[in-house]
Structure 1
Amino acid sequence: MSTLNFAKPKNAARAAEFVAFVTDKETEQVLKSYVLEQAMPHAYVATGNIDDAIAYLGKMDRSPQFLLIDLHGSVMPLSDLGRLAEVCEPSVQVIGIGDRNDVGLFRSLLKIGVRDYLVKPLTVELIKRTVNVSEGSVNQVMLARAGKTIAFAGTRGGVGVTTLALNVARHLAEDTHRRIAYVDLNLYGGSANSMLAMQSNNGLADVLQNVHRLDPQYVERTLVAKGSRLYMLSAELDYGIANPYEKGGLARVLALLCDSFHYVILDVANSADPLANEAFDHASRVYLVADRSVHSTREAVRKLRFIEDRDNNPATSLLLNNVSISSAGKVEQADFAAALTRNVLYEVLYEPKAVSLAENLGEAPSAKTVSGFNQMIKRIASDLTGQRMPEEANVLSKFRLRKR
């Protein structure tokens, strides 16, 4: 075989991209079958220990892309792999093979940079699940933990987006002990700060103007704390000042926030704004708030298509809010659902006083005066976290919410 270098010709190793040293013939045969099935050029599979691998790799002009090393018989595997690292380029993706189903060893190997550890006996299917030839990488054993980006948007102004989003954020921070970053995307002053009795420090404008200088400490300094777990990122630019948004800037900010917070709540002020478009591109979940007017129904159809017709395809839920006490001329809920060809997650009823009063005072709505509203917030939060509350007999729960 000219391309599958199972033998040890003098120059074959110098072109090898897939190299494996194993201590038994059974494992060697499995790896050869895998290489044949994948039609991998420039592969080298042989019996030998880690010393044989070190000697072999030391003669190569370039290190292989994939390196499988059998640790059977190694008394000090971490030390031996350290010696191996001295003859390998940092880009080499190393997979350890052994007989010990040892969690401690597995964790130690991951810490020193080994991509995975496979316990014998191996199978071709196991190797295929581990080595992704088409992407040239070893499939990750685990993904780094990161927070989720959640967007709240409305079909039109005044449907209660900030009221709903902010109270969900407050509940997640205070009652479920998550760290929450609330990002008000209205650069000219959204209502979230006044609802929390806070002043904006123009932090959002700052980070969007300095995208190329951002690091976790920089972003942390732009956040304003409300308690120990809820943080605000906002702006209040003077009218007439140019929008400082730079394409791709919000993505960088969200990536840094997701490294430090369980949830990043995006309050999307204007769906036509470039910031909103990027927010939807990076949201894992979107809540679209509508009312039962004809205009809102038509806009809901358009905005659902706008939000979901993108590569990340965020999961989207509808929240139907009654922003006035009058019922005359409203679209019936069944007609609303039929027009959108999907069900409404929750419908919320008009709240005449208590929520609005709490917002003006910068306080959380009282559990005594708006118990139904707070229960609604808990339900949305439970839907978001996946920890659902017990279902009531009525399929669609109706609670109270006043427009912002």
Structure 2
Amino acid sequence: MMNAMPQYDGPPGEGLDDDLPTPVFKPVPRITIEAFCEMPETGSAIQRAAEDRRLAKAHLTVHMGGIPAAVSYFRETATPNLILVETRQGGEQLFGELAALAEVCDAGTKVIIIGHLNDVSVYREMIRQGVNEYLVAPFSPLQLIESVTRLYVDPDAPPIGRSVAFIGARGGAGSSTLAHNVGWSIAEAMREDTTIVDLDLPFGTAGLDFNQDPVQGIADALVQPDRLDDVMLERLTVKYTSRLSLFTAPGTLERDGDLDADACESLIEVVRETCPVVIIDMPHIWAPWTKRLLLSADDIVITTTPDLAGLRNTKNIVDLLKQTRANDTLPHVVLNQVGVAKRPEIPAKDFAEAIEVEPTLVLPFNPQLFGTAANNGQMLDEVDPKSKTVLGIKHLAGIVTGRAEAPRRSKSLLPFLGRLTGRKEG
């Protein structure tokens, strides 16, 4: 049952700022949803919600016709777990239609009404008659997802952590190093409990970067993911600091990179239930399981280099994410290793125009800082906390957690990028 009257005045599809982190909702379980709409715009918004990653396990079908069509349809068939019905009626006619719908609903079926009257008295009467939720049209897909989530997620259950996936557009771009340092910054600078999950089983570097050599790690968890609970998780992770935990990869060739997608997803879900932030260090391979984990993350950071291969691969990833994650914020693109002596490179401005996304961060080439940290098993912040690179990484950490305001996705971002690299962008 709804706690407060929804308020939304924008057109369908709006209500999500590309500069703010995507809201974190628990995935909806495997349920069947039937929607009956009176207006094409409402059906379109519901269809966009149905394609969202958070409703991936649900089966949603959209029909036209409103409450009368729903009543006629369910006289001949069993009702699903959830019914969405749109109505433009009010008063006695509305409640007469709801009474007819109640007669054909099976026990346990939940109902969300999509109405065009923002009237508290109508809402209260609907709830009194057994309606589970009332949405005022127009609404955004995320508002519908949140409403469905509230009906099927235990309100007393603890919230799940935000998952942030880091992927390199090409090998050697520095994605893992960035993931580890962002995780460190969230845990130590922002004092937020964080777990870093290294999914590159044969070549993962989380153990090296943090100077750890645990006997057990993520490979052991993936063998029997259904047995993974809080106790087993604590045994398999390294408690690096009081706020930072590591799920390290074995770094041996005994296991290849072809992992089971269900096992990986189950592991991430369990970790998300134990801490507020989960950093997913993705390997540089493209397989069904890597694609699935990437698309299901709350936020995505793409690390790339200012060359043609980096540009092509970044654009391919960005285009895929725009197509499949329409209800999520744009990915954060980090342009790394900028300014290598005598190496021709694509300027940040041209790079941004080609991929149609402004880089969130541009990091200068600094082999002394990165090399020293890697060889000593330290984080960059421990080597040179005042460097521009470290300040940029802390800023990115704030953005992906919602603690810092993201730079606006426009040309005005380029001077900010220039300050981080120590030079101006033309």
Q: TM-score, normalised by structure 1?
A: 0.65
Q: Within 5 Å, which residues of 2 pair with 1:204-243?
A: 204-236=218-250, 238-239=252-253, 241-243=255-257
**By how many angstroms is 1:393 displaced?**
10
Q: How do 1:177-256 residues align onto structure 2 when only pairs under 5 Å count?
A: 177-236=191-250, 238-239=252-253, 241-243=255-257, 245-256=259-270
Structure 1, residues 72-109: CA drift from partner, whole Å, max 9, x if none?
A: xxxxxxxxxxxxxxxxxxxx99xxxxxxxxxxxxxxxx
Assess, with a 3 A threshold, how the Cα gap between structure 1 residues 42 and 379 changes in structure 2: closer, same or farther.
closer
Q: Distance in 2 between matches of 1:138 and 1:378?
A: 32
Structure-2 separation of matches of 1:253 and 1:310: 23
- Distance change in 2, residues 1:240/1:338 (3 Å): same
Q: Which one of the candidate residues 386, 392, 399 is aligned to 2:402?
A: 386
Q: Equivalents in 2 of 1:396, 1:234: separation in Å?
A: 32
Quick check: which has more Rg, 1 or 2?
A: 1
Q: Give the aligned partner of residue 389 of structure 2.
A: 373
Alignment correspondent of 1:344: 359
Task: Tell me by how many angstroms 1:324 deviates.
Answer: 5.8
**Whole-Å separation in 2 of the counterparts to 1:192 and 1:323:** 24
Separation in 1, partners of 2:311, 2:148: 46
Counterparts of 1:333 and 1:289, CA distance in 2:
13
What whole-Å deviation, never above 9, does each CA across 1:218-257 have from its counterpart, x for those lacking one? 2232111101111111222532545572231111111111
Moved more, 127-136 or 386-395: 127-136
Report if aligned partners of 2:200, 2:257 keep a CA contact under 8 Å in 1: no
Letter in structure 2 aligned against 1:127: M
* RMSD, aligned α-carbons: 4.0
* Match among 168, 183, 190 for residue 176 of structure 1: 190
| 1:396 maps to amino acid | L
Given that 2:164 and 2:278 are in contact with CA atoms closer than 8 Å, whether structure 1 keeps it comes out as yes
Q: CA deviation at 1:200?
A: 3.8
Is residue 79 of structure 2 the alignment partner of residue 36 of structure 1?
A: no
1:197 to 1:312, Cα distance in 2 relative to 1, 3 A: farther
Change (3 A) 1:241 1:384: closer
Report the equivalent of 2:122. 123
1:185–1:275 Cα contact (<8 Å) kept: no
Q: Is the counterpart of residue 335 in structure 1 residue 378 in structure 2?
A: no
CA–CA separation in structure 2 for the residues paired with 1:137 and 1:209:
33
C-alpha contact 1:349 1:398 (8 A) present in aligned 2? no
Specify which structure has the bigger relative contact order, considering alpha-carbon pairs within 8 angstroms and separated by 6 or more residues: 2
SS in 2 for 1:373: helix
The one-letter code of the counterpart of 2:239 is A
The residue aligned with 1:300 is 314
> How many residue pairs were aligned?
309
Decide whether aligned partners of structure 1 residues 292 and 37 sit closer, same or farther in structure 2, where only a CA change above 3 A counts. Answer: same
Determine the C-alpha separation between the residues in 2 that align with 1:302 and 1:132: 39
How far apart, in 1, do the equivalents of 2:148 and 2:301 lie? 36
Alignment partners' CA distance in 2, 1:208 and 1:297: 33
Query: 1:115 corresponds to which residue?
Result: none
Question: Which residue is 1:84 aligned to?
Answer: none
> 1:192 Cα shift?
1.7
Partner SS for 1:394: helix
Secondary structure in structure 1 of the residue aligned to 2:415? coil
Which residue in the other structure is 2:170 paired with?
A: 156
| 1:126 to partner: Cα distance | 7.0
Structure 1, unmatched stretches of 5+, are 5-16, 18-29, 45-61, 67-91, 94-119
User: Residues 207, 244 of structure 1: CA spacing in aligned structure 2 closer, same or farther, 3 A cutoff?
Assistant: farther
Matched residue, 1:353: 368
Cα 1:378–1:242 shift into 2, 3 Å: closer
Instruction: Give SS of 1:164's match.
Output: helix
Deviates more, 1:224-233 or 1:131-140: 131-140
Which residue does 2:297 correspond to in 1?
A: 283
